[in-house]
Structure formats: structure tokens, C-alpha cells
């Protein structure tokens, strides 16, 4: 009888562990997809609105350095472009990293 209980407990544990892992994966996928949608929307607005903007275009190399260094390398041109974008499109609620990535798509 104890062997049956042990096998039942092991099976229950395996099912519970699998359900927990599946739940984690679903939650992670939902968060990643939400962030991607936000990033895509920011990129669409910035790339379509500022593709001919001299201030933004001048900051492309600096935006690449900013993205590559994960925000460690900042420059006057990039700061100017970020301020310019935020002034021209105040509805955007994007981080510096999201805007820098959007500048790279132009």
C-alpha cells in the first residue's frame, strides 16, 4: 500500500511541477509580447515621423553606441535627439533605450 502512495505522490508532484513550469512560460511569453508591442509602436512612430529630421539623423551613430553599451555611452547629439523627439511627440511614453533603438531603424 505504501508503494502505491509513493507512486501516487510522485505522479502528483510531476504533474504539479509541469503545471508550474507551463504557467511560468505562459506568463513570460505574455510579458515579452507586451514589451515587444510597446517597442514596435515606439519604433513605428519615431521612424515614420522623424525619417527626414536632421537632429535625429545626426544622432544615429550615437544611438548605436548607446544601445551597444546598454546606456553607458551617452552623447550630446543623442540627448538632443531624445529631447527633440519627446518635444515633438509628447504622447510617446518610451525609455531612452527604446527611442535609441527606434532611431536606429530610421
For every one of its 106 residues, what pLDDT tens digit does the chain have, with 9 covering 90 and above?
Answer: 566 776 666 666 666 665 555 555 555 555 555 555 555 555 555 555 777 789 999 999 999 999 999 999 999 999 999 999 999 888 888 899 999 998 888 8
**pTM for the full model?**
0.55
Angle between the 76-88 and 60-68 helix axes, to the nearest 10 degrees? 100
Contact 81, 55 (CB under 8 A): yes
For residue 71, the 8-state DSSP code is T
15 backbone φψ class: left, alpha, beta (φ>0; ψ -120 to 50):
alpha
pLDDT of residue 96: 93
Q: Which three cell numbers stand for residue 25?
A: 512560460
pLDDT of residue 1: 52
Q: Which three cell numbers stand for residue 20?
A: 508550474
pLDDT of residue 70: 92
Amino acid at each position: 500500500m505504501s508503494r502505491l502512495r509513493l507512486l501516487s505522490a510522485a505522479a502528483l508532484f510531476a504533474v504539479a511541477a509541469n503545471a508550474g513550469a507551463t504557467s511560468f512560460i505562459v506568463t513570460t511569453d505574455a510579458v515579452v509580447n507586451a514589451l515587444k508591442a510597446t517597442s514596435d509602436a515606439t519604433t513605428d512612430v519615431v521612424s515614420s515621423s522623424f525619417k527626414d529630421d536632421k537632429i535625429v539623423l545626426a544622432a544615429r551613430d550615437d544611438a548605436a553606441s548607446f544601445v551597444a553599451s546598454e546606456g553607458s555611452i551617452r552623447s550630446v547629439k543623442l540627448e538632443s535627439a531624445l529631447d527633440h523627439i519627446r518635444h515633438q511627440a509628447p504622447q510617446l511614453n518610451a525609455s531612452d533605450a527604446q527611442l535609441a533603438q527606434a532611431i536606429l531603424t530610421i
